[in-house]
Structure 1
Amino acid sequence: MTKQPTDAGAMAGTPPAPPRTGVPSPAATAKGLHRGSVSLLGAVALGLSSVAPAYSIAVTLGLVTLVAGHLAPAALLLGFVPILLTAFAFREFNRQLPDCGTTFVWTTRAFGPLAGWLVGGWVVQIATLIAMTALSQVGAVYLLQVLGLHTWEQRPLAVTVTAVLLLAALTAVARRGLRIAASVQYVLLGLQLTALFGFGAAALVQRHSVRPSLSWLNPFAFGDPGSCAQAVLLCLFIYWGWDSLITVNEETDSDRVPGRAVLISTFTLLGTYLFTAFAAISFAGTGSTGIGLGNAATATDVLATLAPPVLGSVLAKAVQLAVCVSAVSALLTTLISSSRTTLSMAAHGALPAAFRRIHPHHRTPAFGTVFFGVATAALLVLLQLLSPRFLGDAILSIGLLIACYYGTTALACVWHFRSQLRDSPRDLLMKGVLPLLGAVLMLAAFARSAYDMYAPAYGSTSFHGVGGVFLLGFGSLALGVAAVLIARARFPRFFREGRTAVTRITVTED
């Protein structure tokens, strides 16, 4: 699926570093969540599912190829670098501050409550909400296709109603708890990976496929820095979402599980994407006509174009089902992660108390889960009523928000652990050098995204010569500034005490 004012009082002193015992703080264990309900495999499955690998590669690979040609695998590799560097920041934070609020808690501890609420809370949730709206629509369209209801998929009302019903079903699953959600994700993720690797293997052995070349991975082969930057920015979206698994850090067997799951899931994504990209380029080439990946007419769904000639019409249905499942799976994971972020914010006194209610039987943030399901449905209906093009530009603006909060979180890691950077070479590298490089790359991506999005031709809408994608992205940030000012008046204790103290956590039940 995105970036700070600070609280002067909170910045006056640096809070003591938390103990390195690996034991969650009282704040992290008092919310009423079910400890030990998520294994390492379950966390990895949730992380991978939230990225929606089949959907992401289907809608992004063609766009990357339009920009990078046969160097699309190199762009995928370059785009992975800032993601990996940021992942180290998430892992180090989680080891010492394992709170389901993740970026909200970490940014608050590092830069104060204003930055924590705006960047670690608001920006993340807005980006996720927009993504959930898109995923619900995509899931509905592909579901209708799989069911053979092609007439309905062309009707906006039918798609919207199907998306709302899909949201209702997934909200019910997420509300019942992580054990059932993780079990569902195993099946959904297995179908996605099987379809992608099956498609890739079949494409590589086709008679007319060319031999893949390692030169396609050469990042120095880009002749134009601008095209390289644009391709890498597109790739940020394809990896976004793995951090959702960190929000279940209070429900794992160990505080080290989320950190390990982060690295496993990100490298699994890299391998999956590179294999699929090599196979697709090998079979179809990068031409601008026919099934070529450089054909603008088919760039937004390359799997739908390539699956029939590679697998035949019957097995191509399985790939179509995998893309549908991918969107549904990601939607389920985002429902899980979003409600846990708001649970933490409410537990720390930064949101209304209703968000910290835990279901007495399922031990899940029931109110927050239902809230996000309803909010997503409402936003989908609103954007469809305004214009389908408006929804498309809202989706494109997510890239700006992703770079904003990833970059800020990486900077927060460096600042929070600054007193420990001299303790050992390992601390200097993992808590300082690598997260700092990640922050620089992410914030550079943020600046480049803003520059590109300002152009009126970027996206489908514009207003007085300014791109609609830019206005939506910065409009979300501006709305967040207004929201944080309202929150500051509504929750003065949180903003007064800042990062040096946390309000007493009281968990209520439905």
Structure 2
Amino acid sequence: MSTTPIHLERPDGKGLAAGTLGLWGSTVIGLASTAPVYSLVASLGWVVIAVGAQAPIAFVLAFVPMLLIAFAYRELNNAVPDCGTTFTWGTKAFGPWVGWMGGWGVAVAGMVVLANLAQIASVYFWSLIGQDLENNDWRVIIVAVIFIAAMTWVSWRGVEIGERIQNILLGIQYLALVVFIVAVFWQIVSGNAPNSIEFSWEWMNPFAFTSWSGFTEAILLALFIYWGWDTCLALNEETKDPKRIPGRAALLTCVILLFTYVAVTIAAMMYAGLGETGTGLGNEEHADDFFLAIKDGLLGPFGWVLVVAVIISAVSSTQTTILPTARGTLAMGVYRALPARFKDVHPVYKTPSFSTIVMGVVAIAYYVGMTLISDNILQDSILSLGLAIAFYYSITGFACVWYFRADLRKSPRDLFFKGIFPLLGGLMLAAAFVQSAIDMWDVDYGYSVIFGIGGTFVVGIGSLAVGLVLMFVWYLFPRSKRYFGGESLNMDTEVMVPEDVSEFPRSIDGGI
């Protein structure tokens, strides 16, 4: 392996818009990426069905590995603030093969969730104007494609305009959640919530779970609901302080999400109860559209507020989900892990132009293709999303431990934040990955059966397997040789993001 520092072909790193985002802007984009309202709509009912009254503590427990992995992201970002994140760190720690698959895990998660985000936004859009349409209705498909295309354009146009839009959209989301919580307690106090139940501290008891499979299913669903905070790190090269702001923004995002999800979950349980009929949270008929089921009873003529909040949340996250994937593939293009076109940066907008457009096109193709083939398979891909998330988060945790292995004896702080915490987070997520894959094998887990086994397992594991195939195909191309040979990216590759973004190197020494 080469020990000579490898330099990028530009004096300004990869050419992104350095110095654009501060702590607040990074945090807003991290929160927007998780789509708080949409995530609750898509997951809350299923978590309650899986673990009943233990839903609040399930969200707390799922937060633990997220926090531990957030520490790993922070420490790795301090040392290597590269927009490739898991791809770059995994390659530096474990070599090109593991790093490439880590980058693929990020791409798969982004592609799958974009399809669902667009579909949810479209379904709720039509519901807002009084049309209750099926997921595979051509009108739903057309509007969903328009949403993806529009948000792809915003992402291509520049991270600054995206940040301004996200400030507004995130504010509306949290205003809607405040309205929801206030309305819940008003209805309970006034006696207009017939299915309401009293709060119990037993809901926060981590030892009250009655089913191991239900527990692991809830944790995986909760991982999905937190997923997205790492977008802060993918934009590290575009922040005003690349080594510090992204890590702080990621930790702040995680904490805000914890309080948001637990508070809304408790309020929803107190208002709707856990029943399996009507608007009860245990009713599978409303598990994926809880807000639609309760909006009229809760807010009366103002029920549209919740519908608008879901639309805004889904559209908002559509745009921010494109950001990390486009920057991940940009880094892969720069370091020769993908074709050279992926490293193209727009000369004016300073965005990964080709990568962003490819992300939008692939997401549209995947969404339309899956919807036309079988909406059940598309829904199974959403249920399997936790596998890709757990996969690349665990790689990041293990990469942190191995990358900093020489530092672990220097101080207690290094031991915990660079070693023990990331290792525990990685082990937890790896265990969740294995257990969930086992559960998904069951034909009753999801919506479809493929090859006699659960469609969720086939789609989830199959999507990662496709990455293996593509990686070996790329290995055959001449441009890949310096990457797979450990030359274009290794432990000694120079970080091209100075602490002071106004002081980029004036000279270029060689090229990748």
What corresponds to 2:500 in structure 1?
Answer: none
Cα deviation, 1:415-447, whole Å, max 9, x if unaligned, reads 110100011100000000111110110000001
Distance of 1:98 and 1:334 partners within structure 2 = 19
CA contact (8 A) 2:286 2:293 kept: yes
What corresponds to 2:486 in structure 1?
Answer: 497
What corresponds to 2:352 in structure 1?
Answer: 365
Aligned to 1:129, which of 108, 111, 118?
111
Per-residue deviation at 1:90? Answer: 0.6
Distance of 1:222 and 1:398 partners within structure 2 = 24
What corresponds to 1:168 in structure 2?
Answer: 149
TM-score, normalisation: structure 1: 0.91
Per-residue deviation at 1:52? Answer: 0.9
Aligned to 2:148, the other structure's residue is in SS state: helix
Q: Percent identity?
A: 42
Question: Which one-letter code corresponds to 2:180 in the other structure?
Answer: F
CA contact (8 A) 1:37 1:253 kept: yes
Distance of 1:266 and 1:53 partners within structure 2 = 11
Residue 431 of structure 2 corresponds to residue 450 of structure 1: no
Q: Equivalent residues in 2 for 1:50-199 (5 A)?
A: 50-118=33-101, 120-146=102-128, 148=129, 150=131, 156-199=137-180
Distance of 2:390 and 2:177 partners within structure 1 = 27
Pair 466,313 (structure 1): closer, same or farther in 2 beyond 3 Å: same
Distance of 1:494 and 1:378 partners within structure 2 = 29
Q: Equivalent residues in 2 for 1:322-471 (5 A)?
A: 322-471=309-458
Aligned to 1:136, the other structure's residue is in SS state: helix
Q: Equivalent residues in 2 for 1:223-238 (5 A)?
A: 223-238=210-225
Per-residue deviation at 1:25? Answer: 10
Question: Which one-letter code corresponds to 1:290 in the other structure?
Answer: G
Structure 1 unaligned spans of 5+: 1-8, 18-23
Distance of 1:35 and 1:280 partners within structure 2 = 42
Question: Which one-letter code corresponds to 1:292 in the other structure?
Answer: G
Distance of 1:244 and 1:484 partners within structure 2 = 24
Distance of 1:449 and 1:286 partners within structure 2 = 24
Question: Which one-letter code corresponds to 2:168 in the other structure?
Answer: V
Question: Which one-letter code corresponds to 2:77 in the other structure?
Answer: N
What corresponds to 1:220 in structure 2?
Answer: 207
Structure 2 unaligned spans of 5+: 497-507
In angstroms, what is the RMSD of aligned CA positions?
Answer: 2.3
Q: Equivalent residues in 2 for 1:197-346 (5 A)?
A: 197-205=178-186, 206-207=188-189, 208=191, 209-254=196-241, 255-314=243-302, 316-346=303-333
Per-residue deviation at 1:457? Answer: 1.4
Distance of 2:38 and 2:161 partners within structure 1 = 23
Per-residue deviation at 1:504? Answer: 11
What corresponds to 1:20 in structure 2?
Answer: none
Distance of 1:264 and 1:451 partners within structure 2 = 33
Aligned to 2:485, the other structure's residue is in SS state: helix
What corresponds to 2:504 in structure 1?
Answer: none
Per-residue deviation at 1:225? Answer: 3.0
Aligned to 2:17, the other structure's residue is in SS state: coil
Pair 357,16 (structure 1): closer, same or farther in 2 beyond 3 Å: closer
Distance of 2:453 and 2:118 partners within structure 1 = 29
What corresponds to 1:5 in structure 2?
Answer: none
Question: Which one-letter code corresponds to 1:53 in the other structure?
Answer: P
Cα deviation, 1:87-122, whole Å, max 9, x if unaligned, reads 11111110000000001000000000011011x211
Per-residue deviation at 1:355? Answer: 1.3
What corresponds to 1:4 in structure 2?
Answer: none
Bigger fraction of residues in helix = 1
Per-residue deviation at 1:458? Answer: 1.5
TM-score, normalisation: structure 2: 0.90
Aligned length, in residue pairs: 486
Aligned to 1:483, which of 470, 480, 492?
470
Distance of 2:310 and 2:334 partners within structure 1 = 36
Cα deviation, 1:371-428, whole Å, max 9, x if unaligned, reads 1111111111211221111111111121111111111110111111010001110000
Per-residue deviation at 1:213? Answer: 2.8
Question: Which one-letter code corresponds to 2:22 in the other structure?
Answer: S
